Amino acid sequence: MKRALIVVDVQNDFCPGGALAVPRGDETVPIFNRLMPSYDFVVVTQDWHPPDHISFAASHPGRKPFETILINGRPQTLWPVHCVRDTSGAGLHPALRRDAIGRYEKKGIEPETESYSAFSGSLAAQLRSEGFRALDIGGLATDYCVRATVLDACAAGFTTRVLVYACRGIEAAPGDIARALEEMRAGGAVLVHA
């Protein structure tokens, strides 16, 4: 069976020293470098926000990062300014290998909408049309973009595995990572721990 790998948001801003650093996010780099050549196709996603993105606390006067507010009735976690398009923070980690990447998928590009999932655009249709039915997914952050991408992959009918050893999470509240993993399992994904 043809299997594709989706590497979620291994970007400078999500790695130590970045604007929204995921603890030990950079540990995923050597793991993906080793994994990539064994897949039929590799998709690398990038959070790619306009400077005034709705998810930034700075776009909401008086609000602070990591607060949650309601936007159109939906809870939205507010973040530090991160992954602004065409900035170094939005760049992929410099040590992530580039030679095996088949597609770069940018997301979060609309100012007014949060979109944690890699499947907000045409990715599912492209993968399906090229004969992919099975996806392995890992990256940053377990409790946000990985979670949303995995749940969408399952809902779109892909046989989906989460490479838990190649994920790191934000854990804004204790238990967020464990809850996200359980939601992905309940959504139909297989959790791979080693």
Active-site residue numbers? Answer: 9, 107, 145
Q: Which is nearer to ligand VGL, 41 or 79 (CB)?
A: 79
By the rule CB under 6 A, 79 interacts with ligand VGL: yes
From the list 113, 100, 110, the residue with the least C-alpha distance to 6 is 100
Question: What are the tokens at 142?
Answer: 């377990």
By the rule CB under 6 A, 9 interacts with ligand VGL: yes
Tell me which stretch binds ligand VGL (CB under 6 A): 91-99, 121-129, 141-149, 175-183: 141-149
CB 180 within 8 A of CB 186: no
Report what 56 binds from ligand VGL, Zn ion, none; CB cut-off 5-8 Å by kind: none
Distance CA 27, CA 31 (A): 7
By the rule CB under 6 A, 81 interacts with ligand VGL: no
- Coil/strand/helix, residue 27: helix
By the rule CB under 6 A, 78 interacts with ligand VGL: no
By the rule CB under 6 A, 13 interacts with ligand VGL: no
Q: Which is nearer to ligand VGL, 17 or 157 (CB)?
A: 17
Q: How many other C-beta atoms can be found within 10 angstroms of the C-beta atom of residue 75?
A: 8
From the list 120, 57, 62, 51, the residue with the least C-alpha distance to 85 is 51
Q: Which of 32, 39, 56, 144 binds ligand VGL (CB under 6 A)?
A: 144
By the rule CB under 6 A, 141 interacts with ligand VGL: yes
Q: How would DSSP label each residue in 53-69?
A: -TTBGGGSTT--TT-EE
What is the binding site for ligand VGL (CB under 6 A)? Answer: 9, 47, 79, 116, 140-141, 144-145
